[in-house]
Every structure is written in structure tokens, then in C-alpha cells.
Amino acid sequence: MNLFAEGSVDRLVRGFQFPASWFQLVQPFFIITLAPVFAWLWIRLGKREPSSPAKFALGLFFVSAGFALLIPVAGGQAVSPVWLIGTYFLHTLGELCLSPVGLSAMTKLAPPRVVSMMMGVWFVSTGAGNYLGGRMASLYGSMSRPVLFGFVAAFTGATAIAMVLLTKPTKRLMSGVK
């Protein structure tokens, strides 16, 4: 996203062009401000709260939507920062559906004697995902941005649909663990 911010976002404000790296402040801000909202929401929903697998699917849909948001504006001239901020917002919603839920699921579903190892597996999978994301980012210069963002949005959306289809079987395998 930093390459997109550098080359495709209008960063000029009152004659000052701010660095693209400043956009890296947006997602942590959203995390800090929205985490309490999500915590409240899950409590407020009570028995209607989505299951962990459903939250995973929801998180993947938000990530897909974030990339899809950039497709129409990725190929042309510099765009408003609102587009990138909107993408970060959607990605943060996805992260808040995935990360804390995944950590909680690991601790609840793992046998007590291997909880630490399973937490390690969770973080290794996160690292593997970051590596694959970096490999995808290396394609940034070799294909058009709308095609790249479209591919990532489609792949993530397809994964979300697969997760939706696997929600009920996964819940059965969880044996009532919430």
C-alpha cells in the first residue's frame, strides 16, 4: 500500500506534500479507536454473536472489500487520500474480526499441554501470510494496479466464501467452544 500511497495518492495539503509513510498511522489509529467498539458489539449481540468461523469469514470479506475499493481508482491519476483511508478502514475491520478471535480460538481449542505451541503455530501462520503478501507486493510493478488489486480482492473474496461454506462443519468440530 505504501507504493500506492507514494505514486497514486494526492498528498498535497495547502502546498505541503506529506510523506506517504504518514499513512502508516491510519491503521493503528483505527485499531485503537475501533477495538472497544468491536468488544462492545460482540457483548451487545449476546446469543446472536457470530461464531468464530463466521467472524473469520466476515474479516476476509472486509479485506476483499478493501482491495475492491481501490480497483476503480488504481489505474489513473493521483486520487484523494480518502480512497486509501477507506481501504485501511475496511482492512482494520477485517483485522478486528480475525486477529483477536483467532488468538482466542487457539487458546480455547488447543489441549492444555500444547496451548503455547498452538499459539506459536498461529504466529507462524501469520508470518507465512505476511511472506505471501510480500511476494504478491513484488508483482506491483509487473502488472497493472487494477488487475493486481482485483486479483487480491477476488482471491480473498473466494476464501471468504469458502469460509462461509465451512462455518457449520467447523462449528461442529469445535464441540460447543465459543
Per-residue pLDDT of 49-100, as tens digits, reads 999 999 999 999 999 999 999 999 988 788 888 898 999 999 999 999 999 8
Q: Using the predicted structure, report yes or no on whether residue 140 has a pLDDT greater than 80.
A: no
Share of the chain above pLDDT 90, in %: 56
Q: Is 174 helix (H, G, I), strand (E, B) or coil?
A: coil
Residue 173 pLDDT exceeds 80: yes
The strand pair at 16-17 and 12-13 is best described as antiparallel
Least confident of 85-94, 123-132, 137-146: 137-146
What are the CA-CA distances from residue 138 to residues 53, 63, 102, 110, 132 (Å)? 30, 19, 28, 36, 10
Give the list of residues 6+ apart from residue 6 with CB closer than 8 angstroms, or none: 20
The pTM of the full predicted model, rounded to 2 decimals, is 0.89
